[in-house]
Amino acid sequence: MALAAPIEHAFITAAGRGERMRPLTDDRPKPLVEVNGQPIIGHVLDRLVAAGVRYVGVNTFYRPEPLEDYLQQYAVRHPGLTITIVRESELLDTGGGIKNGLGTMPNAPFFVVSGDSYWEDAPGTCTLKMMAQTWDSQNMDMLLLLKKLDEMHPTRGSADYDIDSQGKLTRSLNLTGAYAWTSVRIIKNKTIFNNTPDTPFSFRLLMDRAQQAGRLYGHILKDDWHHFSTKADVDSVNQMTARPKMSLP
């Protein structure tokens, strides 16, 4: 049974140091690195707003001030959007960071997106809305957005998962899967985090639990998604997405 109401809440993970992205992250967190003329997290927020999300939690840690300033300015430009910042005193990893910010989320389905995730929606489409339409709380604990590896260029993702004809996912332990996980996901509700450590832990723990329960599903992205590990990745995507200037007649 598909979700009847739109998903209005999301959490953006933005606390990491972005060590491999140096020197771009020497003076800013990775989500503020610019791609196609805008900080990566700005693209994420644009996609969330387009999908009808109204409440966003964001965790921060490394060089938090410029990121928090940007988020506040973004919220001012989008009066219907509420952004709540959750600053971490220590890095809590991908699972612990979300758990620490659960106070910003309802006990209902919500999006989680990495603050350095960049994907493109074709004109007239909205990937997050399509995910919400696919969502089925009766059968799913999580729905992950996947990108087929052999369709990725110029960056390359990790061979994370395979998907069956019903949409169920199996993690490829030897990294030979056909699909990369984009970091975009829908989570059933906050109870997914029951019985998890109070210390830093990886979100992979919860994905594996959902798979073992037969409740981990995938949605395949048809448009472009780019994985940024290094400055070279950013440079290559910026070159690819650059638009030629229009000459005056």
Q: CA-based Rg of the chain, rounded to a whole angstrom?
A: 18
Q: What pLDDT does residue 169 have?
A: 97
Q: What pLDDT does residue 249 have?
A: 38
Report mean pLDDT in 10-residue bins for the chain, 249 residues: 73 88 85 90 95 96 93 94 95 94 94 92 91 94 95 84 95 92 95 94 96 97 87 84 49
CB of 155 closer than 8 Å to CB of 226 = yes
| Strand, coil or helix: 64 | helix
Structure tokens at 242: 């650059």
Pairing of strands 118-119, 225-226: antiparallel
Q: What pLDDT does residue 23 have?
A: 84
Q: Counting every residue, how long is the chain?
A: 249
Residue 143: what are its φ and ψ, rounded to 5°? -130, 115
Structure tokens at 110: 């919500």
What pTM value is reported for the model?
0.91
Q: What pLDDT does residue 243 have?
A: 54
Cα–Cα distance list, 226 to 150, 203, 210 (Å): 13, 21, 26
With residues binned 3-state (H G I as helix, E B as strand, rest as coil), the percentages for the chain, rounded to 5, are 30, 25, 45
DSSP state of 168: B
Report all structural domains of the chain as residue ranges with CATH numbers, in order of start: 9-241 (3.90.550.10)
Q: What pLDDT does residue 3 have?
A: 47
